[in-house]
A and B are shown apart, each in its own frame.
Chain A
Amino acid sequence: MKGGSRVRTLRELRVSLIFLAVVALLPFVVRVPYWLGVLIVSMYFAIVAAAWNLLAGYTGQFSLAPATFAMIGGYSSGLLYHHFQISPWVGIPVGVVACGVIGFLLGVVVLRLRGPYLALTTLSFAEIIRLVIGNSYTLTRGDLGLSVPAIFEDRLAYYYLFLLVLVVVQLGLYVLVRSRAGLYLQAIRDDDVAAAGRGVNVVLWKTASFSLSSAICGLAGGIYVHFILLASPEIGLVLETGLVLSMAVIGGMGTLIGPLLGAFLVEISSEAFRDVGLSHMLVFSLMVILVGRFFREGLWGLLERLRDRRSPIPHPSVTPEEGGPT
């Protein structure tokens, strides 16, 4: 791809911020609460997809547990309120920390695992947690779900909270990816044997990535349950993880903007498909297959190719650019 990774990542950030600026202005045009809700859900998924992309797209750890951590985050806040009347403003951060710790532990557990074994272990973890939550009626009200209070009265407040989190996550990921830590993660993704040989502390960075990714999922889930007013095991269904994966893959894995584009595309068009009576998941799963088979770089990659074809960039020069990683 033309332009080098530094230029690429900056471009991805720029387009992300423009996209998010548009999202910020949408409520002035879109007044219907239903569609605001769709956009809010899109943002929820965008955050989870971005977190998964950090772990899978940038660190190469194909976890099948992102929705599980969103669920854990949601239940942390929900349970603290339900049993101890603790405010969500405390409960949500507690959920984030809990997910960070559990994510770290999971990372330790799967350190030596690769590819399908890693996926299967995280899948097992996901199912165990979901089944435990679903079966613990006295603690969590099981499959019925836990009623959870609202944190705002106005839908718009949720909208801008999610947007704030999303913007912070995007910026944070940009800084991370461009930093030396980001380079280490990508080196681990590309070849963790070689990375270790070059002196990268693979154990540290893999588990750190797991921890951060899980924490971000937990944050998204924590806020989400207070929006839908319910903490339910269904948040952590493998199907939900499948949705997250689809969004990141369709949008473009391993890029800053892929998960964002993918989440909005998938969520918004689901609504359109619903009107037509066509199962949105049917279309998206087909898209995932096609993207996987033919367009590995996803929608964003396609857009980049079109852009390159229209205005070919001259061959990159020798001098390293200023403003490098911190």
Chain B
Amino acid sequence: MTYLTIDSVSKRFGGLQAVANVSFEVERGELLALIGPNGSGKTTLLNILSGYYAPDSGSISLEDTPIHGLNPDQVAHRGFARMFQLTRLFRRMSVMDNLLVAGYAAGLDHGAASRRAARIGGDLGLAHLNDEDAGRLSGGQQKLLEFGGCFMGEPKVVLLDEPFAAIHPSMKETLARYIRQKHEEGQTFIIVSHDIPAVLELCPRAVVMNAGEVIADDATPSVLNDGGVIEAYLGGTAA
């Protein structure tokens, strides 16, 4: 049984076919990159995976249980966690409370949630900010916080949307290190990113989308050398 199966998923918004017949499978513990030019449907696919949109057709299964069409909170309980392209946090709540919400919603009691939050906060260098309102953190710290929140519920699959965009290189390093460490522990990741060097370094496999379709799905170095992929990025038929 494959861990995560995406089968012939399509989504149309009015006149725009955002996602067209996308299929691929993800094994447990994979670190997969989802790349493609702007407008290729990556974020829409992520939104469908995490329950914000229902696909027009096709199915998505996690460990053979269909999850397409569920609400985002139901999908979260099934084991998905995600980061958004534009950082989404609970700005008027403290750093600790931001993490606790995710922990409580995942069913942890206060003790377990606090311990896990303290550990994640410590690992990401946010511990000294525990009582600060999240809105007061710097942009990079906010991103780290949102990232950290993903792990409170011990998710099966973590979806990251542009995690490396617009942050300080040292924070990028913290993020990458954490991802690598988690990956070694068996965490499954799907990472959407424009940062090709980071993707090359972190992710053994890459799925490339363009104009809503999957145009390549292979080991990352091969994918990046693929003629079709290069054309898509440099001026082919971007959506």
Q: Do chains A and B touch in the complex (CB under 8 A)?
A: yes
B149 on the A face (CB < 8 A): yes
* In contact, A183 and B92 (Cβ under 8 angstroms): no
- The stretch of A196-204, A244-252, A277-285, A303-311 that contacts the partner chain: A196-204
* In contact, A200 and B101 (Cβ under 8 angstroms): yes
- Of residues 89 through 131 on chain B, the ones whose CB sits less than 8 Å from some CB of chain A are 89-94, 96-97, 100-102, 104-106, 110, 114, 117-118, 127-128, 130-131
* In contact, A187 and B106 (Cβ under 8 angstroms): no
> On chain B, which size bracket covers the interface?
35 or more
Which residues of A are found within 8 Å of B90, using beta-carbon distances? 186-187, 190-191, 194-195
- Of residues 54 through 108 on chain B, the ones whose CB sits less than 8 Å from some CB of chain A are 71-73, 76-77, 81-82, 84, 88-94, 96-97, 100-102, 104-106
Which residues of A are found within 8 Å of B127, using beta-carbon distances? 318
Within 8 Å by CB of A196, from B73, B114, B133, B146, lies B73
Q: In the bound complex, what is the Cα–Cα distance between A197 and B104 (angstroms)?
A: 13
Within 8 Å by CB of A197, from B72, B93, B110, lies B72
Interface hub of A198, A318, A325 (most chain B Cβ within 10 A): A198
Which residues of B are found within 8 Å of A116, using beta-carbon distances? none
Which residues of B are found within 8 Å of A196, using beta-carbon distances? 51-52, 71-73, 76
Nearest CB of chain B from residue A202's CB, rounded to whole Å? 7
Which residues of B are found within 8 Å of A5, using beta-carbon distances? 93-94, 97, 131, 133
Q: In the bound complex, what is the Cα–Cα distance between A1 and B132 (angstroms)?
A: 8
Q: In the bound complex, what is the Cα–Cα distance between A7 and B132 (angstroms)?
A: 12
Nearest CB of chain B from residue A75's CB, rounded to whole Å? 36
Q: In the bound complex, what is the Cα–Cα distance between A318 and B120 (angstroms)?
A: 13
Nearest CB of chain A from residue B70's CB, rounded to whole Å? 11
A33 on the B face (CB < 8 A): no
Nearest CB of chain A from residue B219's CB, rounded to whole Å? 30
A103 on the B face (CB < 8 A): no
Q: In the bound complex, what is the Cα–Cα distance between A318 and B115 (angstroms)?
A: 12
Provide a sorted-by-A list of 17 A–B residue pairs whose CB atoms are within 8 angstroms.
Answer: A4-B94, A7-B131, A180-B104, A183-B93, A183-B104, A186-B97, A187-B90, A195-B101, A196-B76, A198-B105, A203-B71, A254-B92, A316-B131, A316-B132, A318-B118, A320-B114, A320-B130
A interface vs B, CB < 8 Å? Answer: 1, 3-7, 180, 183-184, 186-187, 189-191, 193-203, 254, 315-316, 318, 320, 324-326
